[in-house]
Every structure is written in C-alpha cells, then in structure tokens.
Amino acid sequence: MTPEGFHIERVKIAAPGRVQRRRATVALVLTGLASLPIFHAVATHARDDVAERAAYWSVSGQPCQPLAPERFASVSTPPQVTAYDGTIYQRHGGAMTCTHRVETIGGASVRYPVCKFTSPDYLAVVADGRQTFYDLTMGRAASVAVVNGQVRCGVSAKFAM
C-alpha cells in the first residue's frame, strides 16, 4: 500500500559488469586502431635493418685479385693470424670483423662465416686444407665468405668498424 500521491515504478538497471566490459572492448579496439601506424613503422624499420645488414655482409663486387703464395711469404713481418669457425685468416695489415650468415642454397639452409677486412695489403685464407691468397693493395677492403669449403672473396666498399 502506498500513500496517496506516491507511485512506485520499477526502473531497469543494467548490470555494471556488462557496461564496463563494453567500454573496455571499445577502448581496446580504438587503442589497437591507433597503434597500427606505430606497428607498421616498427615492422618497416626492422625489415630495412635486416636488408641493410644483409647488404653489409654480402660478398659482392669484383672478385679479389689473386696473389702468388711466394709474394705473401716474402713479406718481412709475420701476418696477423685469426681462426674463425674452422677457417684460418692471415693478413698483412688492416683489421677484420666476422659474423655468420644463413642462406638457402640448393634447397638447404646453410650457415657459413663471412669476414670483412679493412685494407689489408695481402690476405691468405685456409679452408678445408686449401690455402688461397689475395692481393688487396691500394687500400681496398674485402669481404670473404667460406661456403661449403669454397672461399669467395669480393672487393667491398670501404667501411669503418
């Protein structure tokens, strides 16, 4: 019984959990949409970085000029010797840095070492018991890869370490 002049009405109230979930979903979708340009920029930068590293470590350019073993041995100072991943590098002058690359060659994934040299006069590479000699006089830089025991040497652009 209600006193005269009063009227009680039932008001429908939405469950607070539903409204909060709806708002959270909308906020999440809007945040995701706003973040798409950032994700795209990060992915593009990463792809460019990978391409830049691949170009830096590639063995391209003209092949290194061969050198007679006698000429390499005739230098009065002993060469600097560095062993890296089963390959021995001997150089007269310059500095070197190495890494590994992985490429698909003949349908198989092949991991191999690549070394870069800053202007050595002479370079010798010993791989699989075979010694190869290169003349890099005139301040030329070189990149050397040893893939399946085969040495590839290319004159590269000068670089700083």
The answer, yes or no, to whether residue 150 has pLDDT greater than 90, is: yes
| 3-state per-residue secondary structure call for 63-89 | ECEECCHHHHHCCCCCCEEEEECCEEE
Any domain includes 25:
yes
3-state secondary structure of 144: strand
> Residue 14's pLDDT is what?
61
Q: Are 45 and 88 in the same domain? A: no
The stretch 115-134 carries a mean pLDDT of 94
Is pTM beyond 0.85? Reply is no
The conformation of residue 4, written as its DSSP 8-state character, comes to T
Q: Are 129 and 93 in the same domain? A: yes
Q: Are 110 and 124 in the same domain? A: yes
Any domain includes 5:
no
Q: Are 68 and 110 in the same domain? A: yes
CA distance 133 to 155: 14
Element containing residue 20 per DSSP (H, E)? helix 16-56
Q: Are 49 and 105 in the same domain? A: no
Number of domains in the chain: 2
Any domain includes 7:
no
Q: Residue 98: which domain range?
A: 59-156
Cα torsion 68, 154, 110, 113: sign: positive
Q: Are 103 and 50 in the same domain? A: no
The owner of tokens 């075979």 is: 130
